[in-house]
């Protein structure tokens, strides 16, 4: 099936079996591998993307449902070589070890700050609670989001 998608401000046409997950289309058809596949059933947060500005799991979203929406992945967060303030803050706080969770974390943090530019620590923890980090970097990620919200 042919699908027209808008990803990081660019139009794309893909030809994939109906029902293919948005994660697979991004990673395998568009080569946008910053979106990670951690579980495939919506319970780890690694695959989150922005869909019209909201953070959603792309692994449980069939590509059909993404048509007509504006999708942003981590590749689309920086603009002309300038890092997004959250990317800067993650660097400053060294808020990552292996990095497997980082893309998903960034996406949900971007969505949070769009909606709530000055969140309390509790709100940050709540907003990111669908994202697992096995390296245990949670504290530094909270610091990074606070840093970016200043």
Partner 1 sequence: MSREAPRRWGERPPEQLEKRIVIGPEGEVIARSGKVEYGQGIRTGFRRIVAHELRLPEEAVRVELGETDVVPWDGGTFGSMSTQTDGQALRLAAAYAYQLLLERAAARLGVAPANLVARDGAFHATDGREASYAELAAQAPLAGPLPAAADVAFAPGPDFEPEPDRVEARALVLGQVRYPHDVRLPGMLRGHVLPPPRPGAHLVSLDDTAAKALPGVVAVVHEGDFVGVLAERREQALQAIQSLEATWSDPEGDAEPPLEAQLRQDKDVEAALASAKVRHEATYHTPHIAHASILPSAAAADVRKDGADLYVATQRPFGLRDEAAAILSLDPKDVHVHPQQMSGMYGGGGWGVAALDAIRLSQAAARPVLVEWTRAEEFQRSAQRPWLDAKIEGAVGPDGRIVGYRSHVRTNPHIYASGRVPPEVAGMTSGRNAVPPYDLGQMDVSLTVERAQIQTSAFRSLAAAPNVFASESFIDELASLAGVDPLELRLRHATDPRLRRVLETVGAMSNWPERPRGDGHGFGLAATIYHGTYCAEVAEVYVSQSGKVRLGRVFAAVDPGRLVHPDGARSQIEGGIVQAMSWTLFEETKVSDGRITTRGWRDYPIATFRDAPEKIEVRFVYDMETPSTGIGEPGSVPIAAAIANAVCAATGARVRELPLRPARIQKATR
- Work out the angle at residue 31's Cα, subtended by the Cα atoms of residues 97 and 41, and round it to the nearest 5 degrees: 65
What's 99's DSSP letter?
-
Which residues have a Cβ under 8 Å from the Cβ of 113 and sit 6 or more positions away?
Answer: 86, 119, 145, 148, 149
Residue with tokens 């808008």: 6
* Binder of residue 47, out of ligand FES, partner 1, none (CB less than 5 to 8 A by kind): ligand FES
CA dihedral 114→117→121→122, nearest 10 degrees, is -60
Residue 21 φ/ψ, nearest 5 degrees: -75, 155
132 pairs with which residues across the strands?
Answer: none
Answer for which of 1, 9, 43, 64 binds ligand FES (CB under 6 A) is 43
Query: Site residues for partner 1, window 83-122 (CB under 8 A)?
Result: 83, 87, 90-91, 94, 96-103, 106
- Choose the one of ligand FES, partner 1, none that binds residue 129, judging by a C-beta under 5 to 8 angstroms depending on kind: partner 1
Applying CB under 8 A, which of residues 36, 49, 63, 111 lies at the interface with partner 1? 36
- In whole angstroms, how close is the CB of 25 to ligand FES at the nearest point? 14
Q: Which residues bind partner 1 (CB under 8 A)?
A: 16-17, 20-21, 24, 27-28, 31, 33-41, 43-44, 46, 73-75, 78, 83, 87, 90-91, 94, 96-103, 106, 124-126, 128-129, 131-142
Q: Which residues bind ligand FES (CB under 6 A)?
A: 37-40, 42-47, 57, 59, 96-101, 133-135, 137
């Amino acid at each position: 099936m042919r699908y027209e998608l808008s990803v990081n401000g660019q139009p794309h046409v893909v030809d994939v079996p109906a029902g293919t997950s948005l994660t697979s289309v991004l990673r395998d058809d568009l080569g946008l591998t910053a979106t990670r596949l951690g579980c495939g059933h919506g319970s780890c947060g690694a695959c989150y993307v922005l869909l019209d500005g909201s953070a959603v799991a792309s692994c449980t979203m069939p590509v059909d449902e993404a048509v007509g929406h504006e999708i942003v992945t981590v590749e689309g967060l920086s603009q002309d070589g300038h890092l997004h303030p959250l990317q800067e803050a993650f660097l400053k706080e060294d808020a990552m070890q292996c990095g497997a969770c980082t893309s998903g974390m960034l996406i949900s943090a971007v969505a949070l700050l769009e909606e709530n530019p000055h969140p309390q620590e509790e709100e940050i923890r709540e907003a990111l609670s669908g994202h697992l980090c096995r390296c245990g970097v949670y504290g530094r990620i909270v610091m990074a989001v606070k840093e970016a919200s200043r």
